[in-house]
Each structure stands twice: as structure tokens, then as C-alpha cells.
Structure 1
Amino acid sequence: MQISPPVLRYVGLAKHVLRASRHYSTRFGYAHSRCLVFSNFGQPEKVLKLHSYSVPPPYDDIINVKFIASPINPADINQLEGVYPEKPEFTLELGTGDKSAVPGNEGLVEIVSCGSKVNPSIRPGQWAIMSGPNFGTWRTYAQAREANLILIPDKEGLSPIQAATVSVNPSTAYRMLKDFAGLEPGDYFVQNAANSGVGRSAIQIGRLWGLKSINIIRDRPGIEKLKEELRTIGGTEVITEAEAKDRRTMARITGGQPVRLALNCVGGESATNLARILGYNGHLVTYGAMSKLPFSVPASALIFKNIHCHGFWISAWSKENEATKSQMIRDILDWIRDGKFQDVPYEVTKWSEDTGLETLMEPIKRGISEYSGRKGIFLMEDD
């Protein structure tokens, strides 16, 4: 969402704007923002364009921000394709010929300057992340309001990558482990796609809360190395999809202790197997569908084990739980500072004034492959 008052208003209020802007470091008070935009839904390589526009000085309750890092999530790709429930507002305020929007839902910004009515506690130099989706984070500068941001009061001990990636994957794992099944220390949970961003986060948060995890991954070359990697960050057991179907394997792992929570990101046969693994009153929570296949829950699991099936979407949860989200973000950032929570594997694409569309498209194309294994991140460089 780009907030830009009409240019004529600035002509009449030029003196007021100069007084209102407490700090702004760009020439003549305007910032040159470069962004990716799209005017129609479709395949990213067909609909994305590189665009430039001027961001004027802030006034009243407007905050000018500079993006530091912006992740590329599967939901961002789905949004470009038009298959994601959350859709951005297309507007002419970016100065494009057709109504357009900036993609990207997650990102880290630095406060650059503030209008005269902005809370004095918000100051240039502070870091913040987006409070919700649809802001449009694949750009270098933007204007926001306080409601768009969650401030990070202390950036000591945090890297830009760590701060930029806190609000989707770790937050999704945090909520699913906390809000379903009433898990207590010593309880088991099971998950597929355990090497994904959410999967790795669930392993680490589960370990911090005293939970035991059964982590299912697809068979692949070098699987023993991946298994050891997931054990190193706290995975209790790491097994393949084939091993998870073996009742004897599962009995050996749990020792007969019921599994109370299953996290499903795959769908299809993998999700059906999770339902079979669950014990009485277990909860199956679906937060993704990487296989793009529907799944069935055995009638016996519903009748005789009273399995509960849920869906979880962090975007919808965030809209209804703003205060709780801020506290959750602080918890995760504190774990990062204390060295208790590791980054997910990622690949950085540096974004400078000279970076072209072809370079920016490379990590987006990689992100279309759900099994790429590394999160793409735009890292903005100073002009």
C-alpha cells in the first residue's frame, strides 16, 4: 500500500512539509525508490516490471522508510499468480501508466524521517518490520503509517536477515505449537516438510519449549547429511516419508506415547499418513499444500481417535492479534540474540541503484520451485 498525497498539495504546503520532516537524508527531501511492480496477475516473469518513482518528504502522520531486506516467500509468488486469498490494491499512486502494485509481504525497514504528527518515540534510524500483509516490500523506499509497522526497539545482536525473516516462518511455527493441542514439555509433535523454513523453526521452538519432534522429509541424495543437520538444531527424530509409514518405526520412536499434534505443509498422501500417526484427540494442522494435492483423513481416525483437523494462516491470525503478535516477535528476536535460534538457509540477491530486472528475477524464479531449500532475500545496498 503506497501512501502518497497529490503533488499539488505539496506545492501549497511546501513550508509546512519542510518543518514537519524531522530528518531526511536525500537530496531536496525526496527519495528515489526503485520497485518491482505488476498490473496483472500471472507468471512472475511475464507480469513483473522494474519501476522508479519519487517518495516525497513525510507530513502529518506519514513515516518515510528505507527497506533493508525483503524476503521472497511462496505466498508472494502465489499472490503474483493471483491464486492467493490476500490480494494487493492496484493504484496509480506509484506513477505507472496502468494501475499497479508492489509485491512482497515481509520486510525490514529503517525509519528515515517522520511527519509532525508521528509519535515522538518513532525516530530516524530505528528498525521496523511490517505489521501485516500487502504493504509491498520489494522496493527500496516507501511511505507508511505507524499502524503498518512493528518497531524493533533494540537491533543490537540482530542481523538484517534475521529481523527481516521473523514474521512469517518462525511466527507460523510459534503459533501452531502454542495454540493447538495444549502441548506440554515432553509431548511429541510430528511434521512433514521438516527442512522447510517453518519446519526448521518448529524444531527449534519445540526444543526451547521442551517438546519432542518427529520430522519427516522426502528421500533425496545426501539425505543423511540433511538428517544430521536437522538433529543438530534440535530435531528429536528425522525420518523419511517411507519410514513414517512403518508402524514399527513409529512405535520404536514414541515408545507408545501418543503424538498429539501434526503440522502439515505437503498435503496428499503425506498428510493422510500424519492423521494415521496421531493419537487420541490429536490435532492435524494444515498450513501449506506444497504437493498441490488434496488429502483424505481415514474415517477410523475421526471415529475412533477423535482427530481434529484445522487450517492455519498467519496473515489472518495477525490481523486479529496485533498486541500478541508484537510480544511473539520480541520472544523470537530475544532467542536470536541469545544464540538459541538459527537462521534458515538463505540466498541473498543484492539490490542497488544499478541492479537490473534480470538479476532481481533470478531469486523469484528459484522461489517458484517449492523444494528449492533456500529462502531468497533481497538485500538493499546503500546508494
Structure 2
Amino acid sequence: MRLASVNPADINVLQGVYPSVPSPRDIPGLQTPHRVGGNEGLGEVQELDEKGRQAGLREGDWVIFGKPQMGTWTSHMIAPASDLIPIPREAKENLTEVMGSTLMINPATAICMLRDFEQLKKGDVIVQNAANSAVGQAVVQLAARVLGVETINFVRDRPDLQGLRSDFEEWGRGGPGTHVFTYDALSNRETSSETKDAVKRIANGRPIKLALNALCGKDTTNMSKLLAPSASLVTYGAMSRSPLSLPASLLIFRDLKARGFWMSTWYAMHTRQERAALTAELAHWYAQAILAPPKANIITLTHDHEQQSLSGEAQGEKRHVDQAGRIISETMQGSQGAKTFLKFQ
């Protein structure tokens, strides 16, 4: 493994609250099978059997994973060729390891949600929350530069809000428009009407027919009221840990369509060729600078043989436990706006 991503869903797996988990597998040096965490990452092919060669793989190829919960938090793994998706060799030269390690989840989620629920056309406008998350950043970039769609983005208030607005301007560069509001601006009585009026001016008569929700709770309820009749509210996360609550009037009188999206289901319902086509498309966008990776917080895990000696075994185990705790803490806190990756040496 060249690099492995740490996503919030991986932490949910550790907490025992995620619907899919890695299967136990044999690990050299351990007597019983163990589950290895990690759903996303970038691998490099080192050895192949005949089936791997027949699948078109070569030593040195960069690959990602074609099914969920492969256990990417590891220095090495043995995997069937059918579970691997090669990154096109012509795109590899222009990709960083961080780009390769993010192909499976965040930008894939973004483009699938933009395409699969509403027939968006150039000049349309959409709305999303958790807009500065890794998925949200990809939504802004792909909406602007691939689809020509304007975005209205909701985020938490913060001291450096203007700096974040500048980031959004960069992510939306080349598109028709990128707008940023805070949840408080939409929920507070003093500013709610002004914010709704501002959204109406941005829409300028265009129906807002797609909302992307990673939050749930009251802020999503408020956002859903901005949508046009028969619009789609697509939920792919619940970061607030609150239920999704929608007024019955939105369903009855405005025909709101509340849908869910999970990238694991998308992969399960599509062929290996379709998954490979999506990977190639995303890799091309990275290589052409249409899509930019999130800020990276790379944590290097080393295997110190001296610390694994009999006299230092306990110390080595404690060091790795401490590192694991730090990784979990940083991921839950958002790593100060950066996505966490593991690099094994």
C-alpha cells in the first residue's frame, strides 16, 4: 500500500455503528484471523499470478479497490485481481499519491450524486451542506468545471469565514458562481429572511432541484425549505447525529423526494467495467487539474524492528496504540480542515 485514507466512516466501523465491516483475514505472525480497517487507499502491484496478468495488470500499476472494506490500513495485502481497479497508466504520471488514494470515495460520491438524481444542465443551481468537507469540495469543483452548475453552500460559522469564502472561490473557479452562507444565517430570526432573499436573488427564478445533505438535523430541515417543487434531497451522511426531520407539507404539497446515497451500494450495483470507467474519469480530472485533492494530513507509521524485540515489545505496542488514538482523534476533529492519510514504512 502506498497510501491509505482515513474517512469518518472508518471511525464508525471501529465504533461498531457502520453497516459494513471488513472480513477477518489471515495476517502473518498472528495465530487467528483479524479484521483490518480501512476502506480506501492506493496500492501498487508488486507481484502477480496468472489470473492477475490475464486481467491486464502489470507490476508497478497503481490500483484502487473495487469493493468496500478491503482493509487498506496495512503495508501489504494479497487481493484477487477482480477486486482491483487499475488507474490508467497515462494518467498515473500526473497523479500524486493523495490523488490516487481519494479516487474511490469522495469525488466519486460527488459526481454520482450530481448525475444520478436530477438531470442537471449548464446554468442550473444546487444547494448543499457540509460544503467544506472533502465531498463538498469535490461537489463545488465538479459542478463548476464539469457541469457548469452554480452552487449555494452552507457551512458552520467560524472566525476565519472570509478565508473559507476565498477557498470556495478557488474551488468554484471556472464555473458560473459559488456562494457561501452559514447555518446560523439561515436559522436565526434576525438573519433568516435576509438569507432566504439572498438565495432567491441567486436563483433568479431558476428552480433549485437538488440538495445534498451530509448533516441532518434542523439545519437540513431549513435547507430543504429552499428547494423547488419535486426537487431531490439526497442524504449521504448524518454528521450532526440528529435524525432527518422533514415537514409533511414539503412531501405533500411540494412533492419533495428524500433519497439516500451510499457509494458502497453504487459499487455493488455496477460492473467492474463501470467502476473502472468512473475511476478513469476521476483520474483524468485530477490529471487535468479540473479536480484538486483535499489538504492532506499524512501520518507515517514505521515498523521499528528494535522496538519489536522481546525487551521492547510492550513499548512498541504502546507506541502504535498511541498513534492509532491520535489518528482517530484527528479524524473526528477534522484534522483542522485536512483529510488524514496513513503511510506505512
Cα offset, 1:374, TM superposition: 1.5
Q: Residue 116 in 1 paired to residue 50 in 2?
A: yes
Does the CA-based 8 Å contact 2:45-2:63 persist in structure 1?
A: yes
Offset at residue 277 of structure 1 (A): 0.7
1:327 corresponds, among 270, 274, 277, to 277
Conserved? CA contact 1:275–1:298, under 8 Å: no
Q: The residue matched to 1:141 in structure 2 has which SS?
A: coil
1:241 and 1:340, CA in 2 relative to 1: closer, same or farther beyond 3 A? same
Q: 2: CA distance between counterparts of 1:369 and 1:289?
A: 15
Shift of 1:247: 2.1
**Counterparts of residues 308-347 of structure 1 (less than 5 Å):** 308-322=257-271, 323-347=273-297
Partner residue of 1:348? 298
Where 2:331 maps in the other structure, the secondary structure is helix
User: Equivalent of 2:135, from 173, 187, 198?
Assistant: 198
3-state secondary structure, aligned to 1:119: helix
Q: What amino acid is the match of 1:194? A: A
Runs of 5+ consecutive residues of structure 2 not aligned to the other structure: 187-191, 305-315
Q: Percent identity?
A: 35
Aligned-residue Cα RMSD (Å) equals 1.7
**Which 4+ stretches in 1 moved above 4 angstroms?**
91-95
**What is the identity, as a one-letter code, of the residue corresponding to 1:75?**
A
Q: Is the 1:258–1:278 Cα contact (8 Å) retained in structure 2?
A: yes
Looking at structure 2, the residues matched to 141 and 248 of structure 1 have their Cα atoms a distance apart, in angstroms, of 54
* Greater share of strand: 1
Alignment of 1:256 with 2:205, yes or no, is: yes
Q: Which residue of 2 aligns with 1:365?
A: 329
Q: What residue in structure 1 maps to residue 86 of structure 2? A: 151
User: CA offset at residue 104 of structure 1?
Assistant: 0.2
Question: C-alpha displacement at 1:304, in angstroms?
Answer: 1.9
Give 1:223's match in structure 2, choosing from 157, 161, 165.
161
What is the SS of the residue equivalent to 2:132? coil
Q: Which moved more, 1:276-285 or 1:372-381?
A: 372-381
Partner of 1:70: 4
Count residues with an aligned counterpart: 315
The AA in structure 1 aligned to 2:95 is: L
Q: Which runs of 5+ in 1 are unaligned?
A: 1-66
**1:370-381 to 2 correspondence within 5 Å?**
372-381=336-345
Q: Aligned partners of 1:188, 1:329: CA distance in 2, in Å? A: 26
> What is the SS of the residue equivalent to 2:50?
coil
What are the within-5 Å matches in structure 2 for residues 57-206 of structure 1? 67-92=1-26, 94-120=28-54, 121-154=56-89, 155-206=92-143
Q: Distance in 2 between the 1:250 and 1:167 partners? A: 33
The more displaced of 86-95 and 282-291 is 86-95
TM superposition shift of 1:275? 1.4
Give yes or no for contact 2:215–2:239 (8 Å, CA) kept in 1.
yes
Q: Distance in 2 between matches of 1:243 and 1:325?
A: 40
SS at match of 1:277: coil
Q: Which residue of 2 aligns with 1:241?
A: 183
Q: CA separation in 2, counterparts of 1:98 and 1:122?
A: 31
2:223 partner amino acid? L
Structure having the larger proportion of residues in helix: 2
Where 2:286 maps in the other structure, the secondary structure is helix
After superposing the two structures, state which structure 1 stretch, 104-113 or 293-302, moved more: 293-302
Q: Which of structures 1 and 2 has the larger relative contact order (alpha carbons within 8 angstroms, sep 6+)?
A: 2
CA contact (8 A) 1:74 1:367 kept: yes
Report the secondary structure of 1:113's partner residue.
coil
Q: Which range is displaced more, 174-183 or 294-303?
A: 294-303
